[in-house]
């Protein structure tokens, strides 16, 4: 099938949403078990004692806990607003921050960080002016900043205005909270809401509990639980999560030409964002590229930067190690597929 298609349904008993481009899987959201807090959830949490030497503090809420890295000025027993920023490794507390973000389809609101920013991808000056006017007319609080997302470039103005207003009302209500008990104030988005918010480039949506079975996506997703990632011209990569990191090993296959290593490494650079995204992998990524001349490192690094530039998950390209591996640091925004399909 040509074009972009959004599939919303149930995968192994979990809510899920998939994005297909010309029939190929490009992105996936899968809900975690109920006891795992969703990224984006906002809690009124209670602070425990600071951890000496780490500069952080554990915070608790009914049925869970988080780790706040920047805990300067936080007192034990204090109640504070925190937002879950990603998934934790098994057995660890969820990462949280005090810098809350309220993200919707057309905007991101930033309490305590006033100012208006419009996506740089929106180039048309009259359109930028119109979006700026909409943001000012939304009646946001004085300390509430706003980021207008790129999808607003072609969206109806009344939809953008409504999105700004409703998101602003929700943000102001939560920021004005003065409760004194730990509790969940705003749940994180489920896969269907994430699909609506992040994949606004398609009107072809299939929403059915059995959608994944009807479109024969189950086998394709279960194949992704294997570390094997086929590449062009017979090359391959193995993407294997361990306790400490995600290891990526690149193989040239049967190609014995002098440029085989470089070709396999460039193919890996182009395929890696999708491979990590669909598998729901994050944290420290270490790539063991196939042998290739050191003089070609800049070409491989440029290919990596180009590939991750359009990836929605925040990823930092750290650089080369003394052993010739390449390291990346990736936000844990997705629930791992291997755990979702257990």
**pLDDT confidence of residue 256:** 82
Model pLDDT, residue 333: 93
Rounded Cα–Cα distance for residues 136 and 166 (Å): 14
On the CB side of 188, CA atoms within 13 Å amount to: 24
Is there a contact between 140 and 146 (Cβ–Cβ < 8 Å)? yes
The two tokens of residue 216 are: 């024969």
At a CB cut-off of 8 Å and minimum separation 6, what does 262 contact? 292, 293, 296, 299, 300
Span 42-99 CATH architecture: Beta Barrel (2.40)
* pTM of the predicted model as reported, rounded to 2 decimal places: 0.92
Query: What pLDDT, in 10s, does the model give residues 142-160?
Result: 889 999 999 999 999 999 9
SS3 172: helix
Those residues whose C-beta lies under 8 Å from the C-beta of residue 316, and which sit 6 or more positions away, are: 328, 329, 330
Q: How many residues does the chain have?
A: 342
Domain spans of the chain, in order of start: 4-31+194-214, 42-99, 102-178, 224-340
Q: Are 112 and 143 in contact (CB under 8 A)?
A: yes
Cα angle value 199/200/206 (rounded, 5°): 70
Q: Given this model, what pLDDT does residue 202 score? A: 76
CATH class of 102-178: alpha beta
The low-confidence residues of the chain, meaning pLDDT below 70, are 1
pLDDT at 231: 94
Task: Give the pairing of strands 4-11 and 14-21.
Answer: antiparallel
Looking at residue 342, what is its pLDDT?
Answer: 81
d(CA 7, CA 188): 20
Cβ-count burial of 255 within 10 angstroms (0-12 exposed, 13-18 middle, 19+ buried)?
Answer: middle
The two structure tokens encoding residue 130: 């119109």
pLDDT of the residue at 227:
96
């Amino acid at each position: 099938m040509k074009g972009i298609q959004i599939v919303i349904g149930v995968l192994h008993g979990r809510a899920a949403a998939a994005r297909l481009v010309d029939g190929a899987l490009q992105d996936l959201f899968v809900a975690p078990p109920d006891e795992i807090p969703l990224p984006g959830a906002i809690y009124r949490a209670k602070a425990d004692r600071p951890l000496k030497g780490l500069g952080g503090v554990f915070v608790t809420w009914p049925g869970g806990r988080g780790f706040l890295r920047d805990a300067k000025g936080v007192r034990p027993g204090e109640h504070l607003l925190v937002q879950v920023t990603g998934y934790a490794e098994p057995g660890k507390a969820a990462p949280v921050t005090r810098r809350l973000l309220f993200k919707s389809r057309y905007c991101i609101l930033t309490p305590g960080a006033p100012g208006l920013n419009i996506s740089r991808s929106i180039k048309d000056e009259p359109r930028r002016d119109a979006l700026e006017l909409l943001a000012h007319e939304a009646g946001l609080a004085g300390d509430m900043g706003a980021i207008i997302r790129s999808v607003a470039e072609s969206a109806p103005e009344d939809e953008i205005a409504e999105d700004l207003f409703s998101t602003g009302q929700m943000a102001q209500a939560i920021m004005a909270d003065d409760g004194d008990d730990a509790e969940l104030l705003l749940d994180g988005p489920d896969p269907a809401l994430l699909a609506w918010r992040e994949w606004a480039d398609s009107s072809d949506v299939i929403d059915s509990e059995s959608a994944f079975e009807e479109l024969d996506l189950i086998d394709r997703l279960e194949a992704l639980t294997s570390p094997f990632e086929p590449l062009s011209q017979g090359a391959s990569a193995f993407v294997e999560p361990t306790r400490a990191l995600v290891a990526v090993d690149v193989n040239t296959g049967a190609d014995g030409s002098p440029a085989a290593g470089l070709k396999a490494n460039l193919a890996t650079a182009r395929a890696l964002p999708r491979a990590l995204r669909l598998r729901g992998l994050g944290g420290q990524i270490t790539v063991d590229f196939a042998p290739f001349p050191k003089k070609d490192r800049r070409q491989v690094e440029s290919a990596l930067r180009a590939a991750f530039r359009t990836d929605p998950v925040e990823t930092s390209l750290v650089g080369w190690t003394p052993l010739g591996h390449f390291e990346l640091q990736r936000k844990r925004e997705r629930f791992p597929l291997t755990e979702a399909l257990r």
